[in-house]
């Protein structure tokens, strides 16, 4: 393992901020890179990377890394915002993950994105520990942009139960995941339930997923038990959005992973001053809760839940 400063960010009123990477294995090889927090609230994403650094250190010390394997883990590229409790770049509120592939003669976050991308480019595989723009919790899953360059079947090696294919929108074209793929890296986003708080079981799942991926791709000789369930591959638009119509206090009755029948109550929205039930949101199909809004206040016309219908499950190229 080698800890290196990838680049530093100089600021007028704070010490220079080093963005560090942890390298493992053969420094001449670029097998897999993992990116953690690009936003200041991505605590879980940074934590997963930190656990991965420790896990890979142990794997390397045990002599289980393949000789032609080179790995990089970047836990955090935005301590500038994280240390002051801000989600986006704290000086101008821009989002580094909307600046890729970056521009080294551009504005501040374009330059940071360019440096991050320079460090991450050229790897055969890329994993981003990603967060979602809506406040809520997901089932752990792998998300892949359909750029035309993707090989979704490769995602089965993570061993996670769900693989989501997203048709990129115009605003996705400046994300790390999209640009990684355009520049010949097989890119995957791992979603691990939470963002701004640590979920240890979900973090353990994510770390194991990356280690399993390395093993199945021949980059390590760690042994993992054979999976007994088939992953489900589906497109994002196959999820059923359950929208609120009322605003108020949100009391969730179901959580991600819960099976639901059509008509089951998912949550209640209460009058915040009287506790009168303004609305009960119900499942519109049989399936599994995939996403759950997690703030305690909800407005009208918000996506409160996303359900993965049972009929979408079970197709894949995995045995």
Partner 1 sequence: MVQEVVRLPLAVGEELAIRKNRLGEGGKRFCVVTGTHGDELEGQYVVWRLNRLLTEHPEWLCGTVDLYPALNPLGISTITRGIPLCDLDMNRTFPGSETGSMSEYIAAKLTEDLKGAAACVDIHASNIFLREIPQVRVNVNTASRLVPMAKRLNMDFIWVHAAATVLESTLAYNLNALDTPTLVVEMGVGMRLTRSYGDQLLNGLLSLMQSLGMWKGPVDPITDPLLGDDGNVSFLNASGPGIFVPCVGHAARVEKGQEVGIVADPLTGEIRETLKSPVSGLLFTLREYPVVYEGSLLARILELQA
Choose the stretch contacting partner 1; rule: CB under 8 A; options: 8-16, 27-35, 52-60, 71-79. 8-16
Choose the stretch contacting partner 1; rule: CB under 8 A; options: 3-11, 23-31, 140-148, 209-217. 3-11
Least distance in Å: CB of 146 to partner 1?
15
- Contact flag: residue 185 with partner 1 (CB under 8 A): no
- Contact flag: residue 83 with partner 1 (CB under 8 A): no
Choose the stretch contacting partner 1; rule: CB under 8 A; options: 56-64, 185-193, 247-255, 310-318. 247-255
- Contact flag: residue 303 with partner 1 (CB under 8 A): yes
The span from the CA of 223 to the CA of 302, in Å, is 43
Q: Which of 5, 84, 93, 200 binds partner 1 (CB under 8 A)?
A: 93
Question: Would you say 16 and 10 are in contact if contact means Cβ atoms under 8 Å apart?
Answer: yes
Q: Which residue number, 152 or 182, has a Cβ lying nearer to partner 1?
A: 182
Q: Which residue number, 154 or 196, has a Cβ lying nearer to partner 1?
A: 196
Q: Which residue number, 86 or 217, has a Cβ lying nearer to partner 1?
A: 86
Interaction pattern, residues 273-292, with partner 1; x per rule: CB under 8 A: x-------------------
The span from the CA of 52 to the CA of 289, in Å, is 28
Burial class (CB in 10 A: 0-12, 13-18, 19+), 154: middle
Q: Which residue number, 73 or 281, has a Cβ lying nearer to partner 1?
A: 281
In the Cβ-directed half-sphere of 111, how many Cα atoms lie within 13 Å? 9
Q: Which of 18, 27, 85, 106 binds partner 1 (CB under 8 A)?
A: 106
Q: Which residue number, 58 or 91, has a Cβ lying nearer to partner 1?
A: 91
- Contact flag: residue 229 with partner 1 (CB under 8 A): no
Residues contributing to the site for partner 1 (CB under 8 A): 9-13, 87-88, 91-93, 98, 105-111, 133-135, 169-171, 173-174, 241, 243, 245-249, 272-273, 297-303
């Amino acid at each position: 393992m080698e800890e290196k400063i990838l680049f530093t960010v100089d600021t007028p009123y704070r010490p220079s901020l080093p963005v560090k990477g942890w390298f493992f294995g053969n420094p001449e090889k670029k097998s897999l890179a993992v990116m953690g927090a690009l936003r200041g609230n991505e605590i879980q994403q940074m934590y997963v990377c930190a656990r991965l650094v420790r896990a890979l250190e142990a794997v390397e010390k045990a002599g289980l890394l393949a000789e032609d394997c080179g790995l990089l883990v970047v836990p955090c590229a935005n301590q500038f915002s994280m240390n002051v409790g801000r989600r986006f770049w704290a000086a101008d509120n821009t989002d580094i993950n909307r600046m890729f592939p970056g521009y080294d003669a551009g504005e501040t976050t374009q330059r940071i994105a360019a440096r991050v991308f320079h460090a991450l480019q050229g790897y055969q595989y890329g994993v981003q520990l990603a967060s979602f723009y809506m406040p809520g919790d997901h089932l752990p899953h792998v998300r892949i942009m359909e750029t035309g360059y993707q090989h979704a079947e490769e995602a089965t090696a993570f061993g996670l139960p769900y693989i989501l294919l997203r048709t990129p929108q115009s605003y996705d074209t400046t994300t790390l995941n999209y640009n990684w793929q355009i520049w010949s890296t097989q890119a995957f986003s791992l979603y691990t339930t939470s963002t701004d708080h640590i979920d240890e079981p979900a973090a353990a799942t994510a770390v194991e997923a990356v280690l399993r991926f390395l093993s199945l791709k021949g980059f390590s000789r760690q042994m993992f038990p054979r999976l007994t369930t088939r992953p489900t591959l589906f497109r994002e638009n196959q999820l059923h959005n359950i929208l609120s119509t009322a605003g108020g206090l949100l009391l969730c009755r179901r959580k991600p992973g819960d099976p639901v029948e059509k008509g089951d109550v998912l949550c209640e929205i209460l009058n915040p001053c009287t506790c009168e039930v303004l609305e009960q949101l119900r499942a519109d199909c049989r399936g599994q809760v995939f996403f759950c809004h997690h703030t305690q206040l909800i407005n009208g016309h918000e996506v409160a839940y996303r359900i993965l219908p049972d009929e979408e499950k079970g197709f894949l190229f995995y045995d």
